[in-house]
Amino acid sequence: MGKFLNDFKQFAMRGNVLDMAVGVIIGGAFGKIVSSVVDDIIMPPIGWLIGGVNFSDLKFTLPTVEVIGGEKLEAATINYGNFIQTTLDFLIVAFCVFMLIKVVNKLTAKKKEEENKPAETPKAPEPSNEEKLLMEIRDLLKDKKA
């Protein structure tokens, strides 16, 4: 049992697991913000533009059912307006995640490119005037010997 707990502790303390946990928590909070933006800011003007429709009220009511004994069951509804809002929530979240992944991929590619870039070899320093003069003398002596 002790080995199992140590293995679990080692797994839970790895960087990837902690990063993922933080991402899930922030993602949940971000989802609530997006839902509020869609429900409270985006959908009301859209509903107003198409004739004062409140999307959360859009539904299709199924017929009531009478059960044995004369009792009627409450009518069930298909809330397609709520489905439209939830779909819009998803599309906004998916777009934001897509943009985030694009930025992260671009940054990691740039970093990888810099890491894989071969180090530039420094140029040999330009010979001084004294060295140039000595090279000329050497070359003249070589010519005389030949």
CA–CA dist 108, 131 (Å, integer) = 47
CA–CA dist 62, 78 (Å, integer) = 8
Is-above-0.85 flag for pTM? no
Helix (H) or strand (E) holding 61: strand 60-61
CA–CA dist 88, 43 (Å, integer) = 9
Check residue 143 and give its pLDDT: 86
Provide the pairing of β-strand 72-73 with 60-61. Answer: unpaired
Do residues 85 and 55 lie in contact, with contact meaning Cβ atoms separated by under 8 Å?
Answer: yes
Of 56, 34, 36, 60, nearest in space to 47 by CA:
56
CA–CA dist 99, 105 (Å, integer) = 10
Residues in the chain predicted with pLDDT less than 50, given as ranges, are: none
Check residue 146 and give its pLDDT: 65
10-51 confidence digits (pLDDT tens)? 776 776 777 778 888 888 888 888 888 888 888 888 888 888
